Amino acid sequence: MAEQGNSQSVGSTTDSSSAQNTMPQMELVSPASIRASSEQQQQPQPGQEVMMVTTDDYSYKPGLAAASPSFQQHQLQQQPLHGGGDHDKRKLGSTRKEGKLVDAKTERRLAQNREAARKSRLRKKAYVQNLETSRVRLQQIEQELQRARSQGLLLGGCSAAGDTSSGAAVFDMEYARWLDDDSKRLTELRGGLQAHLLDTNLGLIVEECMQHYDELFQLKASLARSDVFHLLTGTWATPAERCFLWMGGFRPSDLLKILIQQLDPLTEQQMLGIYNLQQSSEQAEEALGQGLQQLHQSLADTVAAGTLNNDGPGVPNYMSLMAIALDKLANLESFYQQADNLRQQTLHQLHRILTTRQAARCFLSIGEYYRRLRALSNLWSSRPCESFIGTESVSPPGTELQTMHHQPQQNQYSGF
């Protein structure tokens, strides 16, 4: 019995000493070892049991958690393992922004609002810049108009400032700008052909040229509603170009005849398409020409009706005749619009018949043709104009006539 008592006392002493030694050992454990042990607990090996350590295991010593910093770190590291707090919120797609919880859907909506606001600012900036550019351009046009009026000249070729409308003057300046842009596009087109660009890249330049001609037709249509006479008289064009004007522009059938020679080789199908286009253009031109001729005859008959002497009782009749003539004169706009539509449709049809490179050569040929006409006008205006009759000559009138008869071909074009 004594031996048993001694063994029990020894056992109890051993258990108590082991219990006392366990706590100092836990207090001496480093944070690194705690993290390693926690990782090992999170990734258990096959065949091993996972043991979770909680604060309930140390409830027998309440002061231990407050006294041991290592135990506090162990508790902080164990919190993610229990899956609480912000960790669960991040799993649900939530974030914290300025101390407030924002979910993923709200965050996407806020991002979309920021992007929409940025695009709105860019559009507003572009709109303001466009307004500023238009304002500066309008000021330049007004200054040029004032300068032309002060000099007593017209951009359209008239002799006095009162002989033209403001719309015609603006059109002349816009047409000059169109010619500058056309020269740049033709240079780009010629460079693309010489560089042997791909049909895709070359086709983009050709489309820009086609749109450039559409812009000219829109400018002329706007002016036709206010001053169709300015377009029909051709004062916006050079003198050599006016020789070939037909209802304020080029005759489509004549242009096709010029281009066929520049577009060889053409396939049989292309030749047939161009031939049909030429035939339909000639028929439309003939119909418009006959209609315009009938309008001219009717207008002349209306103006010449009755007595041409306005003195006396014929004045009321004169006013009624002028009203009828004005109604007939308004039909000129319709004829011009039909002619311009025929020109525009001919260019579009020709563009569809030709290949990309043939269309590029087509626009180059058109541009070069009219460039030569303008150059011819410049040469004509700058030619040496020698007087046929000398101001200091005292020869008899018969001698002067003989001199004019024998020498015009010798000195009239001596500069060429």
Name the residue with higher pLDDT: 190 or 129: 190
How far apart (Å, rounded) are the C-alpha atoms in residues 232 and 337?
Answer: 11
What are the two backbone dihedrals, phi and then psi, of residue 94, each rounded to the nearest 5 degrees?
-105, 150
Which tens digit of pLDDT belongs to each residue from 339-380? 999 999 999 999 999 999 999 999 999 999 999 999 999 998
Q: What is the mean pLDDT of residues 113-132?
A: 88
DSSP 360-399: HHHHHHHHHHHHHHHHHHHHHHTS----SS-TT----HHH
Region of residue 330 (left: phi > 0; alpha: psi -120 to 50; beta: else): alpha
Instruction: Write the single-letter amino acid at 55.
Output: T
Is 47 a residue whose pLDDT tops 60? no
Cα atoms in the Cβ-side hemisphere of radius 13 Å centred on 241 = 23
* Position 96 confidence tier, pLDDT thresholds 50, 70, 90: low
Q: What is the mean pLDDT of residues 290-295?
A: 94
**Which residue pairs, CB below 8 angstroms and at least 24 apart, start in 368-377?**
368/186, 369/258, 370/241, 373/238, 373/240, 373/241, 373/244, 374/238, 374/240, 374/241, 376/240, 377/238, 377/239, 377/240, 377/241
**Element housing 136 (H / E):** helix 104-151
Instruction: Report percent pLDDT > 70 for the chain.
Output: 60
* Position 58 confidence tier, pLDDT thresholds 50, 70, 90: very low
Peptide bond into 265 cis (omega under 30): yes
Q: Is 248 exposed, middle or buried (0-12, 13-18, 19+ CB in 10 A)?
A: buried
Q: Is the CB of residue 262 less than 8 Å from the CB of residue 365?
A: yes
Which tens digit of pLDDT belongs to each residue from 193-211? 999 889 999 999 999 999 9
Is 39 a residue whose pLDDT tops 60? no
* Position 1 confidence tier, pLDDT thresholds 50, 70, 90: very low
According to DSSP, the residues that pair with 95 across neighbouring strands are 102
* Position 74 confidence tier, pLDDT thresholds 50, 70, 90: very low
Is 282 a residue whose pLDDT tops 70? yes
According to DSSP, the residues that pair with 97 across neighbouring strands are 100
* Position 235 confidence tier, pLDDT thresholds 50, 70, 90: confident
Nearest CA among 181, 157, 174 for reference residue 238: 157
Q: Is the CB of residue 263 less than 8 Å from the CB of residue 362?
A: yes
How far apart (Å, rounded) are the C-alpha atoms in residues 88 and 312?
Answer: 107
Separation of CA 136 from chain center: 20
